[in-house]
Structure 1
Amino acid sequence: MITIKEVARHAGVSMSTVSYVLSGKRSISEETKRRVEQSIVALGYHPNAGARALASSRSHVLGLIVPLRSDHNMPVIMQFVSSIVASARDYDYDVLLLTKEAGPGEAHRVTARSMADAIIVMDVESADPRVPELREVDAPVVLLGVPDDHQGLNCVDLDFATAGRQMAAHLADLGHRSIALIGSPPAVYERGTSYAARLLAGFQHETGQRNLPASVHSCAADYESVSACLDDVLHSDRGTTGLVVHNEAVLGPLLLELRRRSLEVPADLSVITLCPDDVAQNLAVPLTSIAIPAEELGAIAVEMVTARLEREQAPEVRLLQPRLTNRGSTSAR
């Protein structure tokens, strides 16, 4: 079935221009109108009911796809959601929150029924099965995350690979000669979540380049799992003196268990983490950290998707550079 996106590409105009030609809601030059009409005839385009509704009016709603899973850290997820909702209101848009774990087809369903003018997608996987569909949706789509195959897609995220490298380098530069990464819960890695995979790749790249002994430990958020994880991390054979933690939910139990074991941060063990600033600075021991800039990322995602509602733009990937704040939880060895 021919889509409005294909008509726009054939005519060399934006999708909104095709919509205005179909609806007559805006004045379009005769030359442009003729070119669009010729493309419609040449391609045999027939707008369906959803497309006609989208052409004639906007819902002024942005769809936000964020499946809520048991392994998600909800306070952090809600920071992203709150930022997107607040930023959308600045553009006079509301947000339709789509939390069901739906597979490919969800974005098309929502836009084809004129429930939303554009889509923001969270919880992006490295080999995300939704990618082929997202390329074909007749509406702007922005991913808050970066799949491995991101050609033709609009994405924004923190540069997690660089963050992994920077945290490993921070400990190495302080003289640590054996470090560990306490990472996300097993389900996050099994699902191939993009941010976790990219941070792990950055961490392993840096430690490999430096020939720095390093171990990786997936950890669930319950206290028993944290305790068992520390048993492995701190085994005498490893000689671990520095921790990189990429799992916000374990930070509280982790510090509590270290205290129970009479281990002081940073005198006995240096700890650096990736998490929101407010989390890092309000723990029992304020932690040196790289921030998850949820507010900034959410605002950029909204800015990108609304800009594409107004005009055709080339796909882009924006990666925010990590910002490290030293709160004294790491020290030289």
Structure 2
Amino acid sequence: MVTINEVAKAAGVSISTVSYALSGKRTISQTTRQRIDRAIRDLGYRPHAGARMLAGARTHILALSAPLHSDGHLPTHMRFVTAVVQVAREHEYDVLLLATDDETSGIRRVADSSLVDGVVAMGVSERDERVPLIRELGVPAAFIGVPDEADGLACVDLDFDAAARMALDRLADAGHRVVGMIGHPHGYLDRRQGFLARFEHGLDAAASARGVRLVRQWAEVERGSGARAIDALLDGEPRVTAVIFHSNEPVVEEAERRLAERGVDVPGELSLVAAAASYDPADLAVPLSGITLPLERMCRIAVESALANVGGGGAGGHELLAPEYVDRGSVSAPRR
């Protein structure tokens, strides 16, 4: 590894002069700076991130604040991480993953040490502690999700309120009046995940407007929860004629297997809709009509907004992406 001593020797200057050139703390003549720059380039010297930031240069690293909770679905989590990394690499940026449950300490650590140029935050809650921290630190940032009190911050998400209304309306249009919903684990509710609150608001509003009765089940992370949830809906009173899945892929797969075991015909006896699916509903054993989460697009907007803020572009505001419904034949009029 090349040292600052070797750079100083090659440039014919003192170590302190190289340090001043890197930090910008003192004025260095143009000729001397050129010699130092040439030595750095020829030797392949890489000053640490803090020195580059002091000199006003970029580290070309983004932090991805992606807390992984015990009830989270790791494949979905990693789809977001992978999408962020891919977009960052297109812009010649690397990504430093901050994945602990503590959402703030990692951001403070990398910001204080000048390791990163900006932050992308995912797994956003309504009262997200990262919002005041980002403001306090003044670090360029973007959120995949829309927390409360985030005015002026760059945020992007699916319009979950509209997605819920769209899913419910499609079933109501087909004549369904008792609709089941299988949702995410209770932990999502306890953490007040912002997307879930907006989805629930839209679902309740649409059900009220269309005269539809909702019957809810919450599927936890343990194996068999999808089967238990679908059993609880089908065995309840009054029995549902349609189900909206707002849950992770394993839950939906288990529910479909349980329906096959029970001999339930889809959509003849039970209509199914996937709402804001983080997976491809077309790849399921029974392809589902519904709305797919525009995950890659969300991550692209977030990364590019964060980078725009790094560059002084002042990217801000909330962008809610309109849901798109795809009919794959899993919805029909109820038989009863």
Based on CA coordinates, which of the two structures has the bigger radius of gyration? 2
Q: Which residue of 2 aligns with 1:288?
A: 289
Q: Which residue of 1 aligns with 2:133?
A: 133
Q: Distance in 2 between matches of 1:105 and 1:138?
A: 15
Q: Distance in 2 between matches of 1:23 and 1:118?
A: 26
> Moved runs in structure 1, 4+ residues, more than 6 A?
20-25
Contact 1:124 1:194 in 2 (8 A): yes
Q: Distance in 2 between matches of 1:242 and 1:218?
A: 16
TM-score by length of 1: 0.81
Contact 1:181 1:216 in 2 (8 A): yes
SS in 2 for 1:243: strand
Q: Distance in 2 between matches of 1:23 and 1:221?
A: 57
Contact 2:280 2:292 in 1 (8 A): no
Q: Which residue of 2 aligns with 1:313?
A: 314
Q: Distance in 1 between matches of 2:275 and 2:88?
A: 27
Q: Which residue of 2 aligns with 1:38?
A: none
Q: Distance in 1 between matches of 2:318 and 2:325?
A: 22
Relative to 1, partners in 2 of residues 1:68 and 1:203: Cα closer, same or farther, differing over 3 Å?
A: same
AA in 1 matched with 2:295: A
Per-residue CA deviations over 1:211-236 (Å, capped at 9, x if unaligned) read 21112221114443223322321235
Matched, 1:211 2:214: no
The number of aligned residues is: 291
- Aligned CA RMSD, in angstroms, stands at 2.3
C-alpha displacement at 1:129, in angstroms? 2.4
Contact 1:76 1:276 in 2 (8 A): no
Matched, 1:265 2:259: no
Q: Which residue of 2 aligns with 1:107?
A: 107
Q: Which residue of 2 aligns with 1:238?
A: 238
Consecutive unaligned residues of structure 2, counting only runs of 5 or more, are 1-22, 29-48
Contact 2:306 2:315 in 1 (8 A): no
AA in 2 matched with 1:178: V
SS in 1 for 2:97: strand
Q: Distance in 2 between matches of 1:316 and 1:21?
A: 34
Query: Mean Cα displacement is larger for which, 223-232 or 121-130?
Result: 223-232
Q: Distance in 1 between matches of 2:246 and 2:55?
A: 44
Per-residue CA deviations over 1:255-304 (Å, capped at 9, x if unaligned) read 00111111111111100013557531111101112011111111111111
Per-residue CA deviations over 1:181-237 (Å, capped at 9, x if unaligned) read 110011111111111121111111110122211122211144432233223212352
Consecutive unaligned residues of structure 1, counting only runs of 5 or more, are 1-19, 26-48
C-alpha displacement at 1:322, in angstroms? 0.5
Name the % identity. Answer: 35
Relative to 1, partners in 2 of residues 1:232 and 1:209: Cα closer, same or farther, differing over 3 Å?
A: same
Q: Which residue of 1 aligns with 2:330?
A: 329
C-alpha displacement at 1:105, in angstroms? 4.0
